[in-house]
Structure 1
């Protein structure tokens, strides 16, 4: 067995941008959760995506949590959340002692179904906030979703953890709602090893989020706290990695697209294969190349065959409404998400992959259809 081919692993820049910024942090002894790298990373990412302000935090999960808090979500409030997502989208709702209601996907986007969202509003008109996810770098249908949400005058939080560098109708995902969040976890399109960013055009709310993220320490000579605080700020060292990674974001998106198109060209004609949908108005970042299998070859067949070649792959996210922890919360939809979970698979989409490695994935998969 040769070197492992990963699903999506960290990829530092060839130019060494990250090391330069991290070295600056060491040279100036600013290794705490504040400093020039933190300040500049916030400014540079906000400028990149077109937001007025940003707060660099310890994780994307922390960013969702503070977005919910900024939206005044409190105990007993209802928050709509896509069911087809990672648990980090839903967990912060519980942190606020609020109640999630899970919304189904549609086949057109794999993301939140606007029709199911409207049905949920009819059932729960008192909802406090809506979280929208851009799954695997694919944009949700934001025009339809925002039309529904604006009609009901509700706060919108975009979980763009997987879609940094992607666009909906020429505008960056994560910038349509009241708040947007990005993740820099080790498997994301750019990484800081761990970390996240909260963005908004409401600079006052972002300033408040920074305050909460630094233990809600009041302006006083002594340590004084008038509100509950959190230890959520990003370190200056980590932010240095992020600044370097941001310089190569466009290159990473280009490679992710190349990987997707390579797979699609080679595998699209196989019986039962259908790739994740890319709409005319969607410019994804193609974070993970994903597809469904609805013929004789099943996702587990592919995953086992790839694993024999030391190649990592994974199922599509298991919906929240059938997760043991969340299964007692309400769900609105027709179970499209369950169908995508049962039939979906994510192929290795590592930006360091060579053509030879891509060809090995393709040959291994094609071999299953030839047996």
Structure 2
């Protein structure tokens, strides 16, 4: 049989036909409606690269939303973290401290730079870095003469860490804080400050599964304009201000493309409505499941307002009658995506030799925690189906 010829240049290939109903996904992208127009305007103006007016406009709107005075749009949230580690002076052999319960991207760039991660346990209520444990470990580290180069707390699942307490503990020893707020856009903390405000730097993500998305991308933000300007130079291959290409160090191609920035600009105005919708989804899960024995949820502190990016339920198999993995498989069989809570980094094979402080709380949350579909495009009927499936797993 002859091999089919490739499609002619410019031909539009059809999407493959669906032969079964689409699954209910964890957090799929939700279009705001103006993305195509924004992208068309950008393309017609001749901009594709990470340059020109669209990324700058995206940065300006993000600064208005978050309150940060300096914002750099980046190719990803991981790129933002990498740049943050660079400008904060992380060197091979330095220690970088982070909560154990987080996604690997929180520390991966630092590890790739030769740093040593140290993982701290999380608090049992908000599931974020335990400030008391952090203060104790910093005192011990000072006595050893080996303080971390940077501490990186995480706003987990869209809930702010206790940033004021963390910064206060680190300020005592002159350790900078960069907060991983990748999933926390629209969340607030003490005094109504946006997630990430109060740290030396904050990193955000606009990946396809986030509350608002650019189809990818991220941002590094803070109040130190010089620090963010240094990150901007590194994001543009560290070119010096010469008419020719002059480099005193090496950098990266980490800028956000104009096309993705255009998508993000269309999405950002929907942020408040998206947060309200995610909080409604969380409240509906609580109303539909909290009466079941063995079911629990992340507690929201009185001083913060989570964006509820993902609803995560804990399932104690003793009183409930089935463990987290059993429930996940029931949902999977019904075409409903769910996912275990983050496996703690101190339990990941990649970090088997990394130092740690505590870890029992994070490990228990991993064993019990299950992320449920939380996308803002989900209907009430979709959510009712998820609730009914979970309730069917409970002991009669």
> Secondary structure of 1:46's match?
helix
Query: Of the candidates 149, 174, 179, which is equivalent to residue 158 of structure 1?
Result: 179
**Stretch of structure 1 that moved more, 254-263 or 218-227:** 218-227
**Stretch of structure 1 that moved more, 69-78 or 153-162:** 69-78
Structure 2 unmatched ranges of 5 or more: 1-19
RMSD over aligned Cα atoms:
1.1
Q: Distance in 1 between matches of 2:213 and 2:110?
A: 25
1:129 aligns with 2:150: yes
After TM superposition, the structure 1 = structure 2 runs for residues 343-362 of structure 1, keeping only pairs within 5 Å, are 343-362=368-387
1:336 corresponds in structure 2 to 361
Q: Distance in 1 between matches of 2:23 and 2:359?
A: 38
Query: Of the candidates 76, 85, 89, which is equivalent to residue 106 of structure 2?
Result: 89
1:245 aligns with 2:264: no
Q: Distance in 2 between matches of 1:293 and 1:144?
A: 30
Q: Distance in 1 between matches of 2:82 and 2:262?
A: 24
1:114 aligns with 2:95: no
Runs of 4+ in 1 over 4 A off after TM superposition: none
8 Å Cα contact 1:38/1:240 also seen in 2:
yes
2:347 corresponds in structure 1 to 322
Query: Of the candidates 3, 19, 23, which is equivalent to residue 4 of structure 1?
Result: 23
1:45 corresponds in structure 2 to 62
8 Å Cα contact 1:65/1:95 also seen in 2:
no
Q: Distance in 2 between matches of 1:219 and 1:147?
A: 38
2:10 corresponds in structure 1 to none
Post-superposition offset of 1:176: 1.4
8 Å Cα contact 2:164/2:198 also seen in 1:
no
1:368 corresponds in structure 2 to 393
Q: Distance in 2 between matches of 1:270 and 1:97?
A: 47
Q: Distance in 2 between matches of 1:325 and 1:370?
A: 37
Q: Distance in 1 between matches of 2:337 and 2:76?
A: 24
Post-superposition offset of 1:124: 2.1
1:302 corresponds in structure 2 to 327
After TM superposition, the structure 1 = structure 2 runs for residues 16-55 of structure 1, keeping only pairs within 5 Å, are 16-55=33-72
Post-superposition offset of 1:10: 0.5
Q: Distance in 2 between matches of 1:128 and 1:3?
A: 46
Per-residue displacement from partner, 1:30-88 (whole Å, max 9, x unpaired)? 11111111001111101110000100000000101111111111111111111100000
After TM superposition, the structure 1 = structure 2 runs for residues 67-106 of structure 1, keeping only pairs within 5 Å, are 67-106=84-123
Q: Distance in 2 between matches of 1:320 and 1:328?
A: 11
**Stretch of structure 1 that moved more, 313-322 or 167-176:** 167-176
> Secondary structure of 1:81's match?
strand
Per-residue displacement from partner, 1:148-174 (whole Å, max 9, x unpaired)? 111111110010001110001211011
1:144 aligns with 2:165: yes
TM-score w.r.t. structure 1 length? 0.97
Query: Of the candidates 235, 249, 253, which is equivalent to residue 257 of structure 2?
Result: 235
Post-superposition offset of 1:122: 2.5
Post-superposition offset of 1:370: 5.1
8 Å Cα contact 2:155/2:183 also seen in 1:
yes
8 Å Cα contact 1:165/1:172 also seen in 2:
yes
Higher relative contact order, structure no. (Cα contacts within 8 Å, ≥ 6 residues apart): 1
2:11 corresponds in structure 1 to none
Higher-Rg structure is 2
Post-superposition offset of 1:282: 1.6
Q: Distance in 2 between matches of 1:231 and 1:146?
A: 31
8 Å Cα contact 1:119/1:332 also seen in 2:
no
Q: Distance in 1 between matches of 2:164 and 2:255?
A: 32
8 Å Cα contact 1:7/1:313 also seen in 2:
yes
Q: Distance in 2 between matches of 1:221 and 1:143?
A: 44
> Secondary structure of 1:55's match?
strand
Q: Distance in 2 between matches of 1:123 and 1:325?
A: 26
TM-score w.r.t. structure 2 length? 0.91
Structure 1 unmatched ranges of 5 or more: none
8 Å Cα contact 2:100/2:359 also seen in 1:
no
8 Å Cα contact 1:21/1:37 also seen in 2:
no
Q: Distance in 2 between matches of 1:163 and 1:346?
A: 16
1:65 corresponds in structure 2 to 82
Post-superposition offset of 1:221: 2.2
